[in-house]
Amino acid sequence: MHHYFMKFFLSALAALSVLCLVGPFDRVLASESENQPVSKETLKVLRETVLRYQRSPLVEMNVEKKVTFELLGKDRVYHGKVSLAEKRFRFETEDPEKNLILFDGQTLWTVQYPTSGTDGKIQVAKARLDKKNQSKILLSELLTGKALMTQFDFLKEEDQGNVVKLFAKPKKGGDQVTTLWITVNKKEKEVRSVEYSDELGNKTVMTFSDLRLQDTARPKIFSYKPEKNAEVTNF
């Protein structure tokens, strides 16, 4: 069980490493490919979309996360809810397993609950992150942070009517993420999905729905205290 939990904790870190894409737009510089360059109009749509999220004290939405493992030839699908604020996030899933990944601004918590009907204990991993590592794994950076396009070059776009998909690659080598797509609804000004591949060929697609931009902050949802019967591992 402990070995499985260790794998869960490490995979959580890897899965979150891509999500550091959004920031001030005065530094937005898109690279153009010769065939399908990213248009100024598309960048404007992206700018307006993300600013909606950045101006909200609390962003909430549902998420479906599908991971395709290249070597295993298997897919795994998670359904859950994401809550975002600047430098903080909460990602909880109920299907197929009840899990929680939470960052309170200093500490990353990953919580794995036992399968219903079993006597297993709650497994908790606790990792305190320095500022350098925070910038790499914060889920909140997807929509509320300050790093848009500092780590990726946007190379082309696919206009699909109401939505547009932008393709990007990391500016520097050695990143776990090799390619990235972000899909934006142009009319609603909403990010609909983010998909990326890693250096092993694994593919992750995160599809968002039921966006809720709240008018007031709820700082308590970004705090966590281990349950009394939990087994806590420090990293």
- The number of helix segments (H) and strand segments (E) in the chain equals 3, 12
At 133 the pLDDT is 60
Task: Going from the first residue of the chain to its last (235 residues), give the mean pLDDT of each consecutive group of 10, the final group possibly shorter.
Answer: 49 46 34 62 87 91 92 89 90 90 92 84 89 55 58 86 89 73 94 87 92 95 93 91
Q: What's the pLDDT score for residue 99?
A: 93
pLDDT of residue 224: 95
For residue 101, the model assigns a pLDDT of 92
**Structure confidence at residue 146 (pLDDT):** 53
Domain that holds residue 49: 2-234
CATH number of the domain within which 47 lies? 2.50.20.10
Residue 23: what pLDDT?
33
Give the sign of the dihedral formed by CA 212, CA 213, CA 216, CA 222.
positive
Rg of the chain in Å (alpha carbons): 18
Return the pLDDT at 41.
92
DSSP 83-120: EEETTEEEEEEEESS-EEEEE-SSEEEEEEPPPTTS-P
Contact assessment for residue 164 and residue 181, using Cβ atoms and an 8 Å cutoff: no
The domain total for the chain is 1
